[in-house]
Amino acid sequence: MTPLDVQLEALLFWKGEPMRRKKILEALDCSGAELETAISALEKKLEGRGVTLQSKDDEITLGTAKEMSAIIEKLTREELSRDLGKAGLETLAIILYKGPISRRDIDYIRGVNSTFIIRNLLVRGLVEKVQSKTDERVFLYKTTFDLLSFLGLKSEHDLPEFEAVKGEIQAFEQVKEEGVKAEEQQQ
């Protein structure tokens, strides 16, 4: 059987964001003492590597080791100095006019995977990730105050043709929903 510390590493790598200890215990089906032993073992294995185990309050995640901060800072600076590009602007517009919105819905609207673009917007501080109030497993993306300030807006409602665009989005969603219902009735 795979050691618990290896399972923990795989779980945190796959998740790619902080996890609560309670969720880790459920996922790994182990006791609190076993988890603490696995955490210690993983921390030792990661010493001198580019990745480290980070812990804050009740959450654990994999992060970049402090010794790698210079290279990460350099790459981040390069990434932030580039233009957003068409895909970034498209994704940002979707979040501005439709947000808070899930990555899945952004992907559906764009027709392609938006993970890298959203990460880029997060790193730049243009959007932020919040947990859905209706489903704690889902994260939503919304604009930041920094973005609104950069655009010179008090709120999203000050965007050009905000109400008209919102109305078109709602009309599109209604037509889509009616189409799905019609399909279900035909089956």
From first to last of the 187 residues of the chain, give the pLDDT tens digit.
789 999 999 999 988 878 899 999 999 999 999 999 999 999 999 999 988 888 877 888 888 887 887 887 777 666 656 678 899 989 998 998 888 899 999 998 888 999 989 998 998 888 999 888 888 888 999 988 878 777 777 778 788 888 888 888 788 778 877 877 777 777 7
pLDDT at residue number 144 = 86
For 62, the 3-state DSSP assignment is strand
pLDDT at residue number 80 = 57
Other Cβ atoms less than 10 A from the Cβ of 123: the count is 12
The tokens describing 63, both together, are 């992060």
pLDDT at residue number 76 = 64
HSE value, Cβ hemisphere, 13 Å, CA-based, for 9: 15
DSSP 23: H
pLDDT at residue number 81 = 61
pLDDT at residue number 84 = 80
pLDDT at residue number 145 = 80
DSSP 99: -
pLDDT at residue number 79 = 62
Q: With 0-12 CB in 10 A as exposed, 13-18 as middle and 19+ as buried, what is 54? A: middle
Every domain of the chain with CATH number 1.10.10.10 lies at: 4-67, 88-186
CATH no., domain 88-186: 1.10.10.10
Residue with tokens 């895909």: 87
Cβ atoms of residues 143 and 157 within 8 Å: no
Pick the CATH number of 4-67 from 1.10.10.10, 3.90.1310.10, 2.40.10.220, 1.10.357.10: 1.10.10.10
Residue type, 52: T
